[in-house]
Amino acid sequence: MSATDSPAGMPAPDNAGRRGPMAEVFFSLLRSGTFLTGLGIVLFWIACALFGEHFVPYDPLADDIINALAPPSAEHWFGTDQIGRDVFSRVIVGSRDILTVAPLATLLATVAGTALGLFTGYFRGIVDDIISRILEAFMAIPVVIVALLAIVALGTSKTTVIVVIGLSFAPIIARTVRSAVLAERELDYVAAAQLRHESAFHTMFVEILPNVIPPILVETTVRLGYAIFAVATLSFMGFGIQPPSPDWGLSISSNYGMIGGGFWWTVLFDALAIATLVIGVNLAADGVHGAFND
Amino acid sequence: MTEKAGNALELSDLSVAYRVAGRNRAVLRNLNLTIGQGEAYGLVGESGCGKSTVALSVVRYLPRNGSITGGAISLDGQDVMKLDGEALRRARAESVSMVYQDPGKALNPSLRIGRQLTEIFELGGIAGQAATDRAIAMLNRVRISDPASVMQRYPHQLSGGMQQRVAIAMALANDPTMLILDEPTTGLDATVEAEVLDLIALLRQELSASILFISHNLAVVSKMCDRVGVLYAGMLVEEGSTQDVFNDPRHPYTVALLRCLPRGGQRKDQGRLDTIPGFLPGIGADIKGCAFADRCALATDRCRSELPPLYDLGGRLSRCHYHEQAQALPRATPSDVAAVAKAKSEPVLHVEGLNKTYASHGHALRAVKDVSVSLRPGETLGLVGESGSGKTTFARLLLGLVPPDEGGSIRLEGKVLAPRLDNRTDDQIKAMQIVFQNPDSALNRSHSIRHLISRALKRLAGLRGAALQARLDELIRSVRLTDRHLAVKPRQLSGGLKQRVAIARAFAGEPRIVVCDEPTSALDVSVQAAILNLLADLQSKEDVSYIFISHDLGVVRYLSDQIAVLYLGRIMELGPSEAVFSGPHHPYTEALLSAVPKLDQTETSRIRLDGEIPSATHPPPGCVFQTRCPRKIGAICETQEPPLAEAEPGHSIRCHIPYAELARLQKPAMQAEPA
């Protein structure tokens, strides 16, 4: 090497005072009041789902006909329902099913949507046109109709609910991923990968995917809120979680006829529970979105 | 130039800091600077030295984390620091105007040009037809030929040069006393840059405004300014008349900066460029003594402990204890190169009749038309031309990233290459690699440097395990990186280091040809010099051929053996580098050369191209260059496309004017320009 500008003269890579982009997002989340509030609410419900049964005053499934439809009191804080089950105990443990079904459905939607988005965004052209039109057609059908058809075909089960919601949400995630991939596709590192004869699989999953994680994370948290809402709706309509689960949507469904008789407590607390969980997830999603888009 | 009637701008002991991670970090340190009435003052320095911060401080427009920590700013005798909100707004509206680097961002994309211009007059209380008339007058003033129609257009419908003219018109609309130009021509083509600079020079004669001209391009500043200040780490290190500073620099930094530029037709086989070792101190660095001491070969213990004052050398200033010896600064990079005796060998690349046509709104867009070139091992083919001339498309065709039209052929070492990358063999792919212009786009930001280079070694060189590790070490050393750079992600490296990684990756498979697509255009001159040296060294060591694309003719000349001048996808001139540069050359080449501002000459005979490069969907009939050609001879140019005819052995020109006639026409210019 004749000419040298010495490597010794180069500065050490700048690590001090700078964090990786993901760490940056993490610290910005910890400073976000919106995110922390949302996370607090969600963690509360997760704790209830995991440990609630050890702390609740009554067995959420045990009926007590003599005390049916008792208003809120010192013994029954949220009153009792039409067969005398303790509403408070049922609300506390009622998050168990929704908190397994909704996240799993979201996970399915994310995995399928990411794969579809990478595929359509990477190959573009005719592949993209065909798949995108099919996905759009799919998005036009209401979830409830899909659910009805699926239940007729597959029977009611948690799996059916997960698959139905997961597949209904996948096109929405696919659309977000596709637009991010289309932007990445134009960057020179993709051309550089082609100039190494990399496979399409490698280029999509090793080169492009890590760079589109931020929009995927944001979209996933937003979808989780919708998934919770969708599970509650399907349960309410009888296509979702099945009795005897103390699920909120299901409880509202079996008690809402009582409102006319003035027995508001049989429905109100379950409804509030759904509302807080959805709001909690949405607040967290807002925080995640903000942290990635600062 | 300078009148004694008070100064247009005075910065005294100005200190500015940015708050980063809870700490105030000094960016400008006790800066003193005076611009007289009607004077044009140039501020030069590498990126990160605080040039733009100066501009923003003048109008107190620093980003939110920036603050003026000391000193005073006086604009036309008015203390800017003491102005309240309303007075500051008035000062910004009435006495100072700024023109920024990227006119595309300075103009509002959703408002018509007319609306944006008249708005300025409306702020001054002129409305309706009067404002429209004034706006049209303003556009006339910046030599826009059809102002009424430009008023109706949106910014994206104008070319970059036109946008910058509009931005200048807007800046001049309120007849400011101070005009701040922050890299006004950096993003523009050389021919457009020349036009904009001419315009600014012309306007200076018409207006009374003083100018603060900020640029990293020393030649541009030398052409435009009366006095120049060299900024380093937020301090003025040298100041004086443009003549003095550039011809007789008295600070080692200025000396070193000037040496980084390939000048006077310097070529790679005549020696390496000088570089500046080390790096600019980071913002907020604690500087004892001279800020440049760490990178200065002349530095003594005194330099490291005692901050040099600005020594007054009779009308000029230098912040160096040893200013009288500054020009004795030893080279950081030895100039000598081992002479390579080039054996005449078979071309490694032979391109014959390559075409690329895109369909654009029902029209055929001939991006590359009938291009034939060949390249021998160890040689460089330089591609020059304005943006839109088809340089990058041609490179992508060669690499197979874009398939060419049927008919042409690309031969690599005698074998015809498949048009598409997918159909080329692994050996063919690894033989031709590319260094992209923008390393931020070319290096995957999610991967570590180790992964980026290892992957290339694995795929292109087929290495695994210990062999890969050994080659990796060798490769990073050959591009002068070290082990500690391997663990990091690209964003933790500076622009120059990132480009070294990109070069290492391109060389992983021991390529025969490397396409370099403007590899240094985003880099500072000192870093550019180091990268050019590296490319030249690698070439002499590995006997690799380059296809080197650049808009910087000095850079192309330094590295190239052959030059192809492209215009609207056609080769206008092709020949050995020296023949193309020294002429006689094609009128287009002549115009390109004339457009480049040069440090070593004050004024040249000037050939200017009117207007923009025509659209490739509707190329002009006859010779495609006839619409802008300053040497057009008549009807034949409009009807008949001249062939690319060999004028001398190996030197072809596509022009109707006979070679001898070109030689006669261009003689005065050729004499003025040292070959």
ipTM of the prediction:
0.82
Share of chain A above pLDDT 70, in %: 93
B670 touches chain A (CB under 8 A): no
At A294, the amino acid letter reads: D
Of B333, B441, B485, the CB nearest to A189: B441
Residue A68: pLDDT band (50, 70, 90) is: confident
**pLDDT tier at A294 (50, 70, 90 boundaries)?**
low
pLDDT range class, residue A132, cuts 50, 70, 90: very high
Q: Which fold has domain B352-560?
A: Rossmann fold (3.40.50)
Residue whose pair of structure tokens reads 């309410």 in the numeric block? A236
Closest CA in chain B for residue A213 = B446
The H or E element that residue B41 is part of is strand B40-44
> Which chain A residue lies closest to B539 (C-alpha atoms)?
A1
Task: List average pLDDT for each run of 10 residues in chain B, which is 675 residues long.
Answer: 64 89 85 90 88 88 87 87 86 85 85 90 85 90 85 87 88 87 84 85 84 89 91 92 91 90 79 84 82 89 89 90 86 71 78 89 85 92 88 92 90 91 91 93 93 94 92 91 89 88 93 92 85 91 92 88 92 92 88 81 64 80 89 88 88 90 76 45
What is the C-alpha separation between B248 and A262, in angstroms, rounded?
Answer: 96
Q: Enumerate the H helices of B72-159 as residue ranges.
A: 85-94, 103-106, 113-123, 128-141, 147-151
Choose among B108, B110, B111, B116: nearest CA to B132: B116
Contact B279 A197 (CB under 8 A): no
Q: Which of A14, A21, A189 sits opposite B442 (nearest CB)?
A: A189
Give B541's contacts in chain A (Cβ within 8 Å).
1
Q: Does the beta-carbon distance from A211 to B446 stay under 8 Å?
A: yes
Position A9 scores a pLDDT of 38
CA distance A290 to B598: 49
pLDDT of amino acid B324: 86
The partner residue sitting opposite B21, judged by closest CB among A13, A17, A20, is A17
> Alpha carbon of B56 to those of A189, B142, B214, B218, B486: distances in Å?
35, 25, 12, 21, 37
By Cβ distance, the residue of B333, B434, B459 closest to A5 is B333
The answer to whether B295 faces chain A, any CB pair under 8 Å, is yes
Helix, strand or coil, per DSSP, at residue B513: strand
Q: Residue A187 contacts by C-beta under 8 Å, 6 or more apart in sequence?
A: B441, B442
State whether residue B421 sits within 8 Å of chain A by CB: yes
Point out the residue among A3, A195, A211 whose CB comes nearest to the CB of B445.
Answer: A211
Chain B nearest-CA residue for A192: B442
- B337 contacts A2? CB cut-off 8 A: yes
Which residues in B lie closer than 8 A to residue A14 (C-beta atoms)? 282, 492
User: Which residues of B fall within a CB distance of 8 Å from A184?
Assistant: none
| Amino acid occupying residue B508 | A
Q: Report the residue from A5, A12, A189 with minimal CB separation from B480.
A: A5
Which member of A2, A194, A195 has the closest CB to residue B338?
A2
pLDDT for residue A10: 43
Beta strand spans in chain A (E): none
Q: Between A9, A192, A210, which is nearest B277 by CB?
A: A9
Q: Is the peptide bond before B490 cis (omega within 30 degrees of 0)?
A: no
B20·A4 Cβ contact <8 A:
no
Pairwise CB contact (< 8 Å): B272 & A210? no
Q: What is the predicted pLDDT for the residue at B268? A: 84
- Which residue type sits at B255? V
Tens-place pLDDT, residues B94-147: 888 888 888 878 889 999 999 999 988 888 788 889 999 989 998 988 888 788
Give the HSE-up count for residue A193: Cα atoms under 13 Å, Cβ half-sphere: 24
Which among B39, B42, B38 is positioned nearest to B599, based on CA atoms? B42
Query: In chain A, where are the structural domains located?
Result: 33-53+61-94+246-294, 100-243
The whole-number pLDDT of residue A19 equals: 62
Which tens digit of pLDDT belongs to each residue from B199-216? 888 888 888 889 999 988
Fold classification of A100-243 is MetI-like fold (1.10.3720)
b (16+ CB within 10 A) / e for B515-534: bbbbbbbbbbbbbbbbbbbb
The number of C-beta contacts closer than 8 angstroms across A and B is: 104
Residues 514-543 (B) with a CB less than 8 A from some CB of A: 530, 533, 537, 541
Write out chain B residues lying below 8 Å of A20, CB-based.
489
CA proximity to A118, closest of A192, A198, A202: A202
Using a CB-CB cut-off of 8 Å, the residues of chain B touching A17 are 20-21
The Cα of A134 is separated from the nearest Cα of chain B by a number of Å equal to 28
Please tell me if residue B488 touches chain A, with a CB cutoff of 8 Å. Answer: yes
In this predicted model, what pLDDT tens digit does every residue of A99-131 receive, in sequence order? Answer: 999 999 999 999 999 999 999 999 998 999 999
Backbone φ and ψ of B301, nearest 5°: -60, -35
Does the bond joining B519 to the residue before it have cis omega, within 30 degrees of 0? no
The per-residue pLDDT for range A4-44, each reduced to its tens digit, is: 333 333 444 444 345 667 777 888 888 888 999 999 999 99
Q: Which of B24, B424, B441 to mutate to test the interface with A (most CBs of A within 10 A)?
A: B441
Report the gap between the CA of B436 and the closest CA in chain A (Å): 7
